Amino acid sequence: MCAGCVNTVETQLRECDGVEVATVNLVTKAAAVQYQADRIQPERLAAVLTEAGFPSQLRQDDDISNSWAEQQQTAQQGQGVRVAIATLLLCFSILGHLHHVGGVTVPILSGLWFHFALATLTLVGPARGILQDGWTGIRRARPNMNTLVSIGALSAYTASVVALVMPTLGWECFFDEPVMLLSFILLGRTLEERARFRATEALRGLIALQPGNAQLVTTPGKTMVIPIAQVQVGDRLQVLPGDKIPVDGQIETGQTTINEAMVTGEALPVTKQVGDRVIGGTLNQSGVIVIQVNRTGADSTLAQMIALVESAQTRKAPIQGLADTLSGYFTYTILALALLTFAFWYGAGVAIWPEAVQMAINPHHGHTAHQVIETSRLLISLKLAIAVVVISCPCALGLATPMAILVGSGIGAQRGLLVRGGDVLETAHRLDMVVFDKTGTLTTGQPRVTHCQSYDPDLTPDDVIGLAASVEKGTRHPLSAAILTEAEHRQLTLTDVTDSATTPGLGVVAQLKKQTLHIGNEAWLAQAHIATDMTNDAVNTFIAQGQTPVYVAVDHRLVGIIAIADRPRDEAVTVIEQLKSQDLQVQLLSGDRPEVAHRLALELGIGVSKGSMTPADKVSAIEKLQSAGRCVGFIGDGINDAPALAQADIGLAMHSGTDIAMETADIVLMRDDLTDVLAALDLSRSTFNKIRQNLAWAFGYNLVCIPLAAGVLLPNFGIALSPGFAGGFMAFSSMGVVLNSLLLRWQLRERCE
């Protein structure tokens, strides 16, 4: 119900033997627990919470994909009916008090016994759950927000009952106060729950992407429909136009365009052909394809996205620590303040300011100031104390951080930015140094032929590339792929070779008809005693430009040289410029040759670059920056980047990279687009700003409204809050936090447009 409840549940879990870490999310009402399986079972943890007054159940692995949204919707059912009943009772109560406003008296509705019946119906009807939970909190010595509301409502009701049955006391009946109070509370909580439900739209949208069935190819030309849970790695599935891709896989036959916006945030459809991988949950638009399954269940991209989004909503931002600490003592503090308020006004306040008190509490009452002091001292003090109890709101404090994180991480998921937690969002906004890997990050990771030079008058550049491609078509490395792609682009006819042998790190030797071909680096040709002196000038130029030379020799005679380079991403220059415009320093750390790294850095406008960096060197470089007081973000994609991603304050991984890099990173860029680095930082700043706004609102609300409810304006201005209006303010405070968090959607949407 509030941050106090969160603190209570976390304490209950941590006190269990074998529990190491326990965090509770107030918005999603889920607990994430790290425990020792040999000491306690999760079923026991759920039982402990249920016994403590927090009904809980263990969520199975498949619940997130099958019933999470239904559980969220079920949680809202019944609230509308309770609010409708409470609102009807509130309307009757208002009609019965029209004589205070315009002198209008409604028969029956203006009678005290009628208002007694209304208040009683409200307490035993729609508000019964609040009272029961409040009593449970008192009985277990763990008071919560419902405890405060229950104390306020029952105090007002009890005082009014006493005034009704003992009219000689001269007390005022205010049965409208518990009706107004509980109606406002119920209405506010219902609106709050609906806003929370809307805030989880991104997660529910991800869950809804998973289709329920798949078409399994049994024999060529024949398929059968099977439940998605029965799909296994290696299965062949047919996907028709208009259908969702059931699971992750690789296209085996067919060609199509796929809309991946729902997973990666990429607006334009992507053309896919044989060999390309597809992501489960994306939409097949144009062609019939058959895919071979390579990931299912929890290993699929969609399942990992859902898990990351949920993790982001469970992991707390450090800034939330203050709110959690205060909320743990909040209820006790408010009860103490209410007692002090009662004691002050009962002991001295009413006697010192009788006229102001009379006008503020009941301006229509016919008693004199002296009669107010004599007959209403207890009543006036009680109403102010009740207002203090009711207006206080730890809910706003508890919702301030998780609501913003819930909305922020959800928006990120919709745009292909998977953020691991609130702590990541908080840290990311403090970055002042961004370090890039080169290959596959700043560059496409797909080398291409940039130049070809022939040293044989009988061979054209096309002939040289054709010879090299004929040899390389039986090998598997990035340079061979570049040569083969160039041969395909030039529409060259390749020849089959024989006796091909590859020496890793050097090159390939093969027989083409009666000729011996050597394809490789300078060391490879030197080992075969093939002279390369005539290429020195060209090679030096290629190296200075960050290109890699590949030598081609026929029968131990150099015939040509092919220059290959990994080209920068199209958006790299713009991203670097915008990072620097945001006062972020940028560096490049690469395992490639220093001259290649330096050349790319110059081209992109990066001031500091280092080459020939091992994974340990990258970690060491980041550690030095951190020891100098820098908050470092590292962006990479390969296995060798995983240690640096872990060492950096924030690690960002490209989705096209390796699984280990994505598992290590704090933020995963699903679109494989460097502009998402800017989007991730913008999301972090916007979310953290919302957290600060929410906390400022929550603290400011309590700092202003609690003294107001205690009567601080009463002596000079005659202004005091009734318990009913105090309840309305309390409900509004939580709604303010929720609505302010939801504003993130519109703000980020306008920024993108």
pLDDT tens column, 667-696: 888 887 899 999 999 998 898 899 889 888
- Single-letter amino acid, residue 341: T
- 598-611 per-position pLDDT tens digit: 888 998 999 899 98
Amino acid at 146: N
Helix (H, G, I), strand (E, B) or coil at 716: helix
Q: What average pLDDT does the segment 658-669 reach?
A: 73
The pLDDT, as a whole number, for residue 615 is 83
- 164 assigned to some structural domain: no
Residue 30 three-state SS: strand
Is residue 625 in a domain? yes
Residue 15 domain flag: yes
Q: Give me the sign of the Cα torsion angle 710, 716, 717, 718.
A: positive
Shared domain for 495 and 550, answered yes or no, is: yes
β 507-512/515-520 pair status: antiparallel
Whether 512 and 471 share a structural domain = yes
437 counts as catalytic:
yes
Is residue 306 assigned to a domain?
Answer: no
pLDDT at 360 over 60: no
Radius of gyration in angstroms for the set of CA atoms belonging to the chain, rounded to a whole number:
35
Asked if residue 536 belongs to a domain, the reply is yes
The CATH code of the domain that includes 426 is 3.40.50.1000
Considering the domain architecture, whether residues 560 and 460 belong to the same structural domain is answered as: yes
Whether residues 423 and 519 fall in one domain? no
Do the beta carbons of residue 465 and residue 492 sit within 8 Å? yes
456 and 421 co-located in one domain: no
Give the residue from 565, 595, 613 where a domain finishes.
565
In a domain, 529, yes or no: yes
Spatial CA neighbour of 286 closest among 242, 236, 246? 242
pLDDT digit string (tens) for 188-214? 677 666 666 666 666 666 677 778 889
Q: Which pTM does this prediction carry?
A: 0.70
In terms of domains, do 514 and 556 share one? yes
Cβ pair 526, 518 in contact under 8 A: no
**Average pLDDT of the chain to the nearest whole number:** 81
Q: How confident is the model at residue 637 (pLDDT cuts 50, 70, 90)?
A: confident
Does residue 654 share a domain with residue 513? no
Side-chain half-sphere exposure of 224, counting CA atoms within 13 A: 6
Residue 277 has pLDDT above 80, yes or no: yes
Q: Are residues 588 and 555 in the same domain?
A: no
Give me the domain span that covers residue 21. Answer: 3-58
Query: Which pLDDT belongs to residue 368?
Result: 46
Q: Of 685, 700, 717, which marks where a domain is finished?
A: 685
pLDDT score, position 629? 93
Q: Do 619 and 575 have their domain in common?
A: yes
pLDDT-above-90 percentage for the chain: 22
Coil, helix or strand at residue 586? strand
Question: Which listed residue (243, 248, 437, 592) is catalytic?
Answer: 437
Tokens 């009669």 identify what position?
Answer: 371
- Do the domain assignments include residue 429? yes
| Total structural domains within the chain | 4
Residues in CB range of 115: below 8 A, 6 or more apart? 93, 96, 173, 175, 176, 179
Residues 549, 523 share a domain:
yes
**Band of pLDDT at residue 587, cut at 50, 70 and 90:** very high
Q: What is the mean pLDDT of residues 713-724?
A: 77
pLDDT recorded at residue 96 = 63
Question: Measured at the alpha carbon of residue 592, what is the angle toward residues 590 and 596, in degrees to the nearest 5?
Answer: 100
Residue 393 banded pLDDT, cuts 50, 70, 90: low
